[in-house]
């Protein structure tokens, strides 16, 4: 049986005191332990940014990649050894901006991985520029008169792009976030966990207090059907005095990408002999 302490790294976090990344980090460790996943059976892939330091702070297989390129690297990890539980942690800048194209294509392929976004609605590591999820009018070092751009909607994009598990959490609700990540770990297919992660240093609008007054849990809504795609899409655009968190949409039974690759029927590639399952008709190509 794994325990939270099994995932403790000797490297101490350097996040700002009060950073929402602590909540995400603690929820992820608790979820892995609750699901009895051992450190050697999980691989955490990240991009560049404050939250992307998480693999260094966690005792597990880990890889810190290029800005915006966490998903293609994670895809390679999953296809090389699909026995691993692959988890991604990256920010809204690295994941939704530079990595936006990878985000869409990973979802439509339905790769079996858990994709956690530390969404603080600002570029925290580079000291406070506006990000793809910053609200229109947001004042920052790169939008002195307020951002003139509309913010993207990750939940709506995920529902449209084929993700089979679409959820949102809040770093100030660690117990609920732990449960969400556990549900994502249990799901077979691409799982999005978008997390409201207050940046205490640069985003003075979307604070813990701001979210706490507004968020409500979809599972507490009478009659909410998380298999109803139209209803999930409507909830994705709900913003203002009430903001939903929880599981928006889930599809069970859709084959994961790696389930459809014949070469993986013989087991993970890392355990196969070289050129296993190569048809006789093309073997001479590799000689």
Q: Domain containing 200 — which CATH number?
A: 3.40.50.970
Rounded distance between C-alpha atoms, residue 246 and residue 99, angstroms: 24
Are 196 and 211 spatial neighbours (Cβ–Cβ below 8 Å)? yes
Q: Average pLDDT, stretch 126-144?
A: 83
Q: Would you tell me how many other CB atoms lie within 10 Å of the CB of residue 230? A: 10
The confidence score (pLDDT) of residue 98 equals 82
Q: Average pLDDT, stretch 247-259?
A: 96
Q: Average pLDDT, stretch 71-100?
A: 93
Domain count, the chain: 1
The confidence score (pLDDT) of residue 282 equals 60
The confidence score (pLDDT) of residue 132 equals 86
- First-to-final CA distance of the chain: 46
Sign of CA dihedral 141, 142, 146, 150: negative
Mean residue pLDDT of the chain comes to 92
Considering only CA atoms, give the Rg of the chain: 19
Residue 172 clears pLDDT 60, i.e. is over it? yes
SS percent in the chain: helix, strand, coil, step 5: 40, 20, 45
Rounded distance between C-alpha atoms, residue 147 and residue 138, angstroms: 5
Q: Which domain holds residue 187?
A: 4-286
Match 């070469």 to its residue by tokens: 263
pLDDT band at 147 (very low <50, low <70, confident <90, very high): confident
């Amino acid at each position: 049986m794994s325990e939270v302490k099994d995932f403790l790294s000797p490297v101490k976090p350097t996040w700002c005191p009060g950073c929402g990344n602590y909540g995400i980090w603690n929820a992820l460790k608790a979820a892995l332990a609750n699901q009895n996943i051992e450190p050697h059976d999980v691989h955490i892939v990240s991009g560049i940014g404050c939250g992307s330091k998480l693999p260094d702070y966690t005792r597990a297989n880990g890889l810190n990649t290029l800005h915006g390129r966490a998903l293609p690297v994670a895809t390679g990890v999953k296809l090389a050894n699909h026995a691993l539980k692959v988890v991604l942690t990256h920010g809204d800048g690295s994941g939704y901006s530079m990595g936006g194209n990878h985000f869409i294509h990973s979802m439509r392929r339905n790769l079996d991985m858990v994709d956690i976004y530390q969404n603080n609605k600002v570029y925290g590591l580079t000291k406070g520029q506006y990000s793809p999820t910053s609200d229109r009018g947001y004042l920052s070092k790169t939008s002195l008169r307020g951002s003139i751009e509309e913010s993207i909607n990750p939940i709506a994009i995920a529902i449209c792009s084929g993700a089979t598990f679409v959820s949102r959490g809040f770093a100030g609700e660690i117990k609920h976030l732990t449960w969400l990540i556990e549900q994502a770990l249990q799901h077979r297919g691409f799982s999005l966990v978008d997390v409201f992660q207050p940046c205490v240093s640069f985003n003075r609008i979307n604070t813990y207090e701001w979210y706490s007054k507004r968020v409500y849990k979809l599972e507490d809504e009478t009659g909410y059907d998380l298999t109803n795609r139209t209803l999930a899409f409507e909830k994705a655009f709900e913003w203002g005095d009430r903001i939903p968190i929880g599981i928006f949409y889930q599809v069970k039974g859709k084959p994961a990408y790696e389930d459809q690759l014949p070469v993986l029927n013989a087991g993970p590639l890392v355990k196969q002999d070289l050129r296993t399952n190569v048809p006789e008709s093309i073997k001479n190509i590799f000689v």
